[in-house]
Amino acid sequence: MARSREGQEDGQANVCRCATELEPHRSSWAAVCMYEFWNLKIPEIPSRSRLYPLEPAAKGTPLVEGLTSYILRLADAHAVPVGALVNHELARLRPPARSQGPWRDRRASRPSAVSLMSYSINGLEEGASRWVEALEAATLRSDLSHLTLLSLHEFFCSLSLFRRVRAWCRTCLEEWRIAGRTIYEPLLWSLRLAKVCPKHHVYLTERCPHCSRAMKPLTSASRPGRCSRCYRWLGAIEGESFTECISLNPTKILETRRTEYLGDLLACAPQLNGGPLRQNFLYHLRKCVHELFQGNRAAFAHFVSCPPSAVGNWISGATIPRISRFLEVCVRLEVPMAAFLLDPSRAMTNWSSFASRIHPDRSVGRYWRREDTLRALTPALRERPAPTLAQIARRLGYKGTEGLRRVAPETCKQITKNYQDSFVPGPFHKGPRPRICKASKIEAALRASLARRTPESVPEIAVRLGYAQSAPILIEFPELCRAINAKIASRKKSRLKTMRRIIIKTLEENPPPPLREVAHRLGYRDKKVIHHYFPKLEAALIAHRQACRRQNSHQLMLRLQPMLSERPLPSACTVARRLGLSIATLQRRFPESYHRFVARKQNQGKNA
């Protein structure tokens, strides 16, 4: 009993000791009990990208970045060559459906493997799609397809769509470098139809200004804004200014408009992704022809300078235009390219707003239905002078007479007979000769024409009086007709003497004007008239012009040589301005002096 009492006392002492030790932790335990509803499940952390998810430059604008440029910037951001980035990162993320492009095993180790078919990376075929998949898997971005033309793959063909070499605007690169902006290459620069920078109105450059060599769009040694061959800057050369040399001419203005239309299409390309582009184009084209040309397909084809058969195939849905033809149609209509491709259910194009810019040729006939053709042929039976069937066909918009003969064969036969009856009878004709008007009226018309300073020809008088040919008048009044022809020949001879005198006078000019300007002085549009009437004078004029050109080149060379020894050396633009030339003309006419001048200028800059 004593032992059991002692054991109880020891147990109570231990309990008191434990309670004393746990007293400081009661407050923290109570705090834990207050948050018994905490979610103790481990949160899901999103996976990290293997490569930097760089933001595409100028997304949603006409100067949106191309996918090749994005690859260059991605490699530059990781400080690795493009070949290493492609072969060690991108190639293993998306295995190819077939051996093509950068995933060719036998060529992957070569430095030139990346450049194979690199122009198609920005395109709309399967290769571009696999490039986008690989880059999106590596960067975890979902908008890289907007850096290509994949959204337009249903409508356009990749044939002759992209350049095979790099092209860039040196002024844009230099402005971005000075402003500290991202150096990239817009998708617009890779298109073959874009030849002029829409901002600076200068032609895109395709050769390095230092080594004068072209480059592939993407190689293992490519870098943003740098030459992949000599690794030098592709922007402005030291001391060179572009703003002084910008000049606009009709050709450059037209190329600028084409480039602007292409840029607007690239800006709207994300909105066209996934839409039925062929059906949209067919709907808008029919609406355009109906609203702007009152359904006259021939007038539309004449206005946009397209064959009527091609326009008919477009409207029927048999074919779609190539991008070059589609661009020309939009430029002539002054309608954005995206207006033909937008979904009518989401964005309806107001074609009536473009009507004020369109002035179609009303003289162009339209395509007639059978009933309309029959109604139009009936009045032709009563016309005087009798028209030919070919004239009526052209009047109604037909290319030939076969279509009319199929529609109304009997009416066409009667029209042809009426025209044949207006001919002078043949030598074996029996019976009286048909007369359309009185002899006194014919004689009065001939004498009035002879009294004019510029007489009217006998065939013109015959048509005016209702004859299909001039033979009846020639037989009836031969003397008057000979007098009219002699006066016309005399005036032509006098005119040729005057033209010869003008051409001989132009030979005395230094430098002589071009043949087209000489033709304008003579009152003609085409210079072929000089070759037709004065071939020897044309040869002398060309030889004189070439001699003056050689003499001018020699004088310019004499003026150019002292400039190479000037200190400090002037810029290329300054030299061109002194000589009265553009930089492109200076480089084309004096390539050796130009490259020697540029090399000395660069050496002087390094020594300084």
Three-state secondary-structure class, residue 233:
strand
pLDDT band at 302, cuts 50/70/90? confident
pTM exceeding the 0.75 threshold for the entire prediction: no
User: How far apart are alpha carbons 227 and 221 in whole angstroms?
Assistant: 9
User: How far apart are alpha carbons 128 and 147 in whole angstroms?
Assistant: 10
**Phi, then psi, of 196 in degrees rounded to 5:** -130, 140
**Phi, then psi, of 466 in degrees rounded to 5:** 110, 5
Helical ranges in 224-276 per DSSP H? 250-268
User: What was the pLDDT predicted at 303?
Assistant: 83
Q: Is residue 306 packed enough to be buried (19+ CB in 10 Å), middle (13-18) or exposed (0-12)?
A: middle
Q: Which residue has the higher pLDDT, 115 or 295?
A: 295
pLDDT tens-digit series, residues 378-432: 888 888 777 888 888 877 777 677 778 877 888 888 888 887 776 555 554 455 5
Residue 593 has pLDDT above 80, yes or no: no
Residue 87 has pLDDT above 50, yes or no: yes
pLDDT tens-digit series, residues 319-330: 888 888 888 888
Inter-axis angle of helices 250-268 and 323-333, nearest 10: 110
Average pLDDT, the chain: 78
- In the block, tokens 């009416």 appear at 411
Q: Which residue has the higher pLDDT, 300 or 8?
A: 300
Mean pLDDT of 121-136: 86
User: What was the pLDDT predicted at 129?
Assistant: 86
Those residues whose C-beta lies under 8 Å from the C-beta of residue 291, and which sit 6 or more positions away, are 351, 352, 355
Those residues whose C-beta lies under 8 Å from the C-beta of residue 45, and which sit 6 or more positions away, are none
3-state helix, strand, coil in the chain (%, to 5): 60, 0, 40
CA nearest to 470, candidates 448, 445, 491: 445
pLDDT tens-digit series, residues 428-472: 445 555 556 678 888 888 999 889 888 889 888 887 777 777 887
pLDDT band at 239, cuts 50/70/90? low
User: What was the pLDDT predicted at 15?
Assistant: 44
